[in-house]
Amino acid sequence: MDNPRSLSISPSNTLIKSALGGWALWLIAAIFYAYEFIHRVVPSILTEELREAFSVNEHQLGLIGAMYFYAYAAFQLPAGILVDKYGAKRLLVFASTILTLGSFLFTTTSSSAIAQISRFMIGTGSAFAFVGCLKIGGQWLAVSSFPLVVGLTNFFGTMGALTGGKPLAHLVQEFGWQHVMMLVSFAGLFITVLMWLFLHDKTLNKEEQQKQTPLTLLSGLKTVMRCPQSWLIALYGALLVAPIVALPEMWGVEYLKLTYDISAANASAITHTIFIGTAVGGAIIGWAMTYIQNRLRFMMFSTLGALILLCLFLYWNNLAFSQLYIVLFCYGALTSNMLLSFTLITKLHPTYAQGAAIGFTNMIIMAFGGLMQHGIGWLLHTFKSENQGVALIADYHIAFCLLPICLGMAVLLTFFIRQQCNDA
């Protein structure tokens, strides 16, 4: 906080301007997070186009999609450590450059091997977006605002996912997937320049630097990984995110097309209602956590509600479209409590380890999501091989049974999570 003697005659105005400036810097980083989310969900609306373009089956297509998550997960720990050490601006500009190059490569290749490499590059760049965005928010905004920062960051990611859903599907139908993805790639170039010109890290005095700088590059990571509660909190977040990665981000569109005999654009609109729910729910939960004391009980009941809604969506296949929208919106709102994983784990650790804590949590979440996306693709391919190349609704039901199991395990974890390492 500023020295009172250095404040102007109207200190409240100065503080307001400072807060607004912090939110503006966070907004720039949040735009990049929204952009990387477009790339995350693109395979869900391009399954047919990518199968034809790269001459691949469901298993191979699942691998192309999962390469994003494997890279994202692999670079979460380095992202958290490096952001703690060198600041958010350098890492975000570097990450955006890698992502954009990968986007151009993915758009222009016809090789499945190159497509995997390009998706890996996109995942690598994307790995720094969430960590960097929260780091910017943590630097420039009040500690009490952090749950709201997490919720609003998720809101921007959701807006990116929605943009990569039905709107992008319509553009693909109109102009072709390569032309559309080329425009998306140029948007990444613009965002890279925007961050390079305007984003900057907060300058700390010597005392603050000593408090916030780890003794060694791996000090923060060691602190996080030695705490058993870090693993439980990260696993809880991973179990909640797994169905979202599997459904609206990959296999949900194909499932709805088969089950309800609808177009890819309409199926995408329905599945991406989950993202609207997480956007609204995340912002509301971020605000509500200022007043709710028993967060673990809230996490347990909201996850239990999400489990019921997920089973209803997967196994009650005569729902009206209006009911599908309502069920998936409510499901997304309830599962957005997974954002509390980041609030819990940052409060669990000192400032110098918070970037590593966020990166560690996101690594577990995304690695598990990639395995789930790839695993379901493998199951569907296996079933199709047994059914003469045709996937049946029953095959999806069996493959998707992994998802309710994830939420059931998440409910159980809430009985073991504590908010102190020494309570484990």
Q: What is the pLDDT of residues 233-288, one digit of tens each?
A: 999 999 999 998 888 878 898 899 999 999 877 898 899 899 889 889 988 888 88
Predicted confidence at residue 213, as pLDDT, reads 55
Higher pLDDT pick, 350 / 123: 123
Structural domains in the chain, sorted by start: 12-423 (1.20.1250.20)
**What is the per-residue pLDDT across 12-49, written as a single tens digit (0 to 9) for each?**
444 445 667 888 999 999 999 999 999 988 887 888 89
Helices (H), 141-272: 146-163, 166-175, 177-198, 206-212, 219-225, 228-246, 252-260, 264-271
Write out the two tokens for 232. 């439980």
Q: How far is CA 66 from CA 245, 332, 383, in A?
A: 10, 22, 20
Closest CA to 43 of 184, 174, 173, 169: 169
Could you tell me how many residues make up the chain? 424
Contacts of 386 (CB under 8 A, 6+ apart): none
pTM higher than 0.85, yes or no?
A: no
Q: Tokens 């693909």 belong to which residue?
A: 172
